[in-house]
Amino acid sequence: SDHQLEYPSEPTAEFWKPFYPKWPADAATQVPRFADVGCGYGGLLVSLAPLFPETLMLGLEIRDKVEEYVKQRIDGLREQGCEKGLAPTSAGSYQNISVLRSNAMKFLPHFFAKGQMEKLFFLFPDPHFKKKKHKARIITPQLLAEYAFLLKEGGLLYIATDVRALFDWMVTHIDKHPLFQRLDQAAIDADPCVRCVLEETEEGKKVARNAGDKFMLVYRRLPTAEVA
């Protein structure tokens, strides 16, 4: 249960050092800017890592065995990068991705500061079909306020699912939120992360194998002043 999950009292750069042990102290950023919430087996992180080699990224996963798997997967990739002699901030070093076991619905503001995040991914989240369980969904009005707080102005929130009812639920709530605006289709098509979202996540691959539909959208975090 959550009782064993540890979290810092407030976000600090110091906290992340063990997660990115080879990351140079003079790199542009020392804290995660992308978070994959409910990262599962880590396919998104692994595919994004070489596309944004100077950005720190974190997967959050609640299941300990899954988190352990992702850790080992990243360790293996990092070792290969070291054998090739790659610098930590170069593509293929995988020094920029890591994973944390946590309950993302409870503890995010303990890890990330206001405006810290450039991208938040919510990909193929658990659908929680029953009406009584809707409050357990990862997109709710309360949590959206938190995501808006953590995203920098202009930052992006990605959603994807194969469950039409869940998609409609997420879109309804995000559309209603004054701090989020849908990206138009041209902007979505131009975003290099979109292919990774749809094709490199383990769930996305599973849906493709079963020839199922995938629904996805991207929202921009609006500047607070423009809304007020």
One residue of 47, 103, 140, 181 binding ligand SAM per CB under 6 A: 103
Percent composition of the chain: helix, strand, coil (DSSP 3-state, to 5): 45, 20, 40
> Exposed e or buried b for every residue in 110-135, given b needs 16+ CB within 10 A?
ebbeeebbbbbbbbbbebbeeeeeee
Residue whose CB is less far from ligand SAM, 78 or 101? 101
CB of 34 to ligand SAM, least distance (A): 13
Task: Give the contacts of 165 (CB within 8 A, at least 6 positions apart).
Answer: 127, 129
Closest CA to 127 of 119, 136, 118, 140: 136
Q: Which one-letter amino acid corresponds to residue 155?
A: G
One residue of 35, 45, 60, 163 binding ligand SAM per CB under 6 A: 60
Residue 202 as a binder of ligand SAM (CB under 6 A): the answer is yes
Residue whose CB is less far from ligand SAM, 193 or 222? 193
Is 75 one of the annotated active-site residues of the chain?
no
Residue 47 as a binder of ligand SAM (CB under 6 A): the answer is no
Tracing tokens 């076991």 back to the chain, one arrives at: 101
CB of 73 to ligand SAM, least distance (A): 13
Residue whose CB is less far from ligand SAM, 151 or 196? 196
Binders of ligand SAM: how many residues, by CB under 6 A?
20
Binding site membership for S-adenosyl-L-methionine: which residues? 38, 61-62, 103-104, 123, 201-203
2-31 positions binding ligand SAM, by CB under 6 A: none
- C-alpha 218/C-alpha 119 separation (Å) is 10
Residue 164 as a binder of ligand SAM (CB under 6 A): the answer is no
Q: Which of 126, 168, 184, 189 is catalytic?
A: 126
Residue whose CB is less far from ligand SAM, 174 or 222? 174
Closest CA to 187 of 217, 152, 222: 217
Residue 201 as a binder of ligand SAM (CB under 6 A): the answer is yes
- C-alpha 225/C-alpha 14 separation (Å) is 31
- Indicate which residues carry an active-site annotation: 126
Residues that bind ligand SAM (CB under 6 A): 38-40, 43, 60-63, 66, 103-105, 123-126, 201-204
